[in-house]
Structure 1
Amino acid sequence: MKRFVVTSAVGLGLALAATAAQAAPINVMADACSGCHGTDGQSLGAMPAFNTKTAAELKKMLRDYRSGAREATIMDRITKGYSEAQLDAIVDSFKK
């Protein structure tokens, strides 16, 4: 049952990210990150926190996930739903 819940949550997150990437404001796109990585990037769970990373580090990480240069389980698929400009804007919304 626990595996089903995790799988369902990941699937929902991917669906929300894809939908958000189509036409949503940046703050809505960034809110999708909080579901796994915690409010303001301060994860309390199994997902890595990113609140200690600089904007430049996060932008590079997201680009690397998107291109396949960085190994991932989910982030490679999520980042492909966004343009590089959207990814930058999402990072900037967290690092304001």
Structure 2
Amino acid sequence: MKIRHGLTMLALMASAGLAQAQDALQVRSWAAACANCHGTDGRAQPGMESLAGANKDDMVKKMLDFKAGRKPATIMHQLAKGYSDEQITAIAGYFAAQKK
């Protein structure tokens, strides 16, 4: 019985690890859409805003303001509408975790 319980726990832990890895890959693919303007992993070329290492809460607020039309933009207001609030939070977390 103990061996069976241990195997079940091991399988659950492996499954949870796989789900986390898939989630991380999903967030990374969402963030990749930002690379054209904000650079690979959020490290932009001069003249564009870098996102790497930026404050997560500030990024979420800006994106939600773009999405709601409270912050003027040339394209960000359109792009922000393509993401749920949860996706925006996840993407901001990804960029905040990147080294500047």
> TM-score with structure 2 length normalisation?
0.65
Following TM superposition, by how much is the alpha carbon of 1:47 offset from its aligned partner in structure 2, in angstroms? Answer: 2.4
2:51–2:96 contact (8 Å) kept in structure 1:
no
Following TM superposition, by how much is the alpha carbon of 1:39 offset from its aligned partner in structure 2, in angstroms? Answer: 2.1
SS at match of 2:77: helix
Which has the higher Rg, Structure 1 or Structure 2?
Answer: 2
> Aligned partners of 1:77 and 1:28: how far apart in 2?
19
Following TM superposition, by how much is the alpha carbon of 1:45 offset from its aligned partner in structure 2, in angstroms? Answer: 4.0
Residue identity matched to 1:30:
A
Percent same amino acid at aligned positions? 34
Deviations 1:1-28 (A, max 9, x none): xxxxxxxxxxxxxxxxxxxxxxx82111
Across the aligned residues of Structure 1 and Structure 2, the Cα RMSD in angstroms comes to 1.7
Q: How many residue pairs are counted as aligned between the two chains?
A: 73
> Aligned partners of 2:94 and 2:51: how far apart in 1?
13
- Gaps of at least 5 residues in structure 2 are 1-24
Bigger shift: 41-50 or 31-40? Answer: 41-50
Residue identity matched to 1:62:
M
Runs of 4+ that moved beyond 3 A? none
Q: In the alignment, which residue of structure 2 is the partner of 1:66?
A: 67
> Aligned partners of 2:59 and 2:91: how far apart in 1?
10
> Aligned partners of 1:28 and 1:39: how far apart in 2?
11
> Aligned partners of 1:62 and 1:44: how far apart in 2?
20
Q: In the alignment, which residue of structure 2 is the partner of 1:39?
A: 40
- Gaps of at least 5 residues in structure 1 are 1-23
